[in-house]
């Protein structure tokens, strides 16, 4: 797999996480010249483990990415570029033009796998505990909290439902609201009380205990809220700048709207992973990436490959209905 940046390819993949690398793998298998632009900001890099991957449960995020990148080496048409795409446009002829680290690259198709960015709590010790005993994804890491005392840090009307989700595993759940004023309405508090979820109105200041041996969360007033695990949910922000530049339709949360083939509202642009709606799990991102890669590759049937080495993919016969 080459690491130089070509000036023209069949497909530009923006995002080098599980979805983007999965798409690139299938584009490579279809012998389509492809550049993957990887800014190195994968959402789960801080996690100790990635779970639930068939045959690889658990693995570390770093190992998963390293093996995926190594797997791309068997496809000489695929180029991995560590950098950032800052601009993307489509000309009148349907060709896409991207600015990658100041250079321009053109592509017949685009796959956006740019993911989301989580808003993290501003508490002392967060960086040391994140991915070990502090997590953002109940489905990903709730199993590790089975039978334990879980503290939820978060704000917003979605937090009660988020807290209730942890009851699938936790022995008990307590919500620290981040404000000294009463949070949630009476109906929400009543539902939480019915589930046995305690609401603590207070501002989290610090995580107490060593990483892997969390004792709890200290509030600004000095109170210690005891707990074994912390989950947080404030907001996550879709990295949709390039999608906006292209005019892709977005959903109400800012994610990219796609059809069953991961095609966006802009012809020739596909999207996969957490930037699209649905469960945000690594196995699902991989599957969506595969779907986007195959759909993107097959949309190019009948088109000669642009700038590929060692040999272009042969044009596919165009069939017509009788």
Residue 213 gets which letter from DSSP?
Answer: E
pLDDT 10s digits, 63-103: 999 999 999 999 999 999 999 999 999 999 999 999 999 99
Q: What is the structure's pLDDT at 322?
A: 38
pLDDT 10s digits, 232-250: 999 989 999 999 999 999 9
Q: What is the structure's pLDDT at 320?
A: 42
- 247: tokens are 């005019």
Residues of the chain with pLDDT under 70: 1-4, 308-322
Q: What is the structure's pLDDT at 308?
A: 58
Question: Measuring CA to CA, which residue among 314, 259, 313 is closest to residue 291?
Answer: 259
Degrees, nearest 5: CA angle 19-53-81: 30
Q: What is the structure's pLDDT at 312?
A: 53
Query: DSSP letter string over 24-71?
Result: HHHHHHTT--EEEEE-S--TTTT-S-B---TT--SB-HHHHHHHHHHH
In contact, 25 and 293? CB cutoff 8 Å: yes
> Torsion angle, CA of 236/239/243/244, rounded to 10 degrees?
80
Q: What is the structure's pLDDT at 184?
A: 86
Cα 221 from chain centre: 36
Q: What is the structure's pLDDT at 315?
A: 53
Q: What is the structure's pLDDT at 12?
A: 98
- Which segments of 113-182 are extended strands (E)? 116-118, 134-135, 149-154, 172-176
């Amino acid at each position: 797999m080459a690491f130089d940046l070509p000036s023209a390819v069949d497909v530009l993949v923006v995002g080098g996480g599980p979805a983007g690398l999965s798409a690139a793998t299938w584009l490579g298998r279809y012998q389509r010249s492809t550049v993957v632009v990887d800014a190195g900001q994968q959402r789960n890099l801080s996690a100790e483990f990635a779970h639930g991957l068939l045959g690889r449960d658990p693995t570390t995020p770093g190992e998963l990415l390293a093996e995926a990148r190594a797997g791309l080496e068997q496809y000489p048409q695929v180029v991995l570029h560590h950098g950032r795409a800052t601009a993307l446009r489509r000309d009148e002829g349907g060709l896409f033009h991207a600015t990658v680290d100041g250079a321009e690259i053109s592509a017949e198709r685009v796959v956006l796998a740019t993911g989301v960015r989580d808003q993290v709590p501003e508490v002392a010790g967060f960086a040391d505990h994140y991915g070990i005993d502090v997590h953002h994804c109940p489905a990903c890491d709730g199993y590790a909290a089975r039978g334990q005392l879980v503290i939820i840090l978060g704000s917003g009307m979605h937090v009660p439902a988020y807290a209730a989700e942890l009851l699938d595993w936790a022995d008990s759940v307590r919500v620290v609201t981040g404000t000294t004023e009463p949070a949630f309405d009476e109906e929400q508090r009543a539902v939480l009380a019915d589930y046995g979820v305690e609401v603590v109105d207070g501002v989290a200041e610090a995580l107490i205990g060593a990483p892997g041996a969390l004792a709890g969360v200290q509030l600004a007033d000095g109170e210690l809220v005891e707990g074994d695990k912390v989950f947080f949910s404030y907001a996550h922000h879709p990295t949709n700048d390039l999608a906006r530049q292209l005019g892709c339709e977005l959903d109400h949360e800012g994610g990219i709207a796609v059809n069953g083939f991961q095609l966006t509202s802009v012809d020739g642009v596909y999207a996969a992973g957490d930037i699209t709606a649905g469960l945000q799990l690594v196995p699902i991102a991989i599957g969506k990436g595969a779907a986007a890669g195959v759909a993107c590759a097959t949309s190019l049937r009948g088109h000669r490959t642009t700038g590929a080495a060692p040999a272009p993919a042969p044009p596919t016969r165009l069939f017509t209905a009788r």
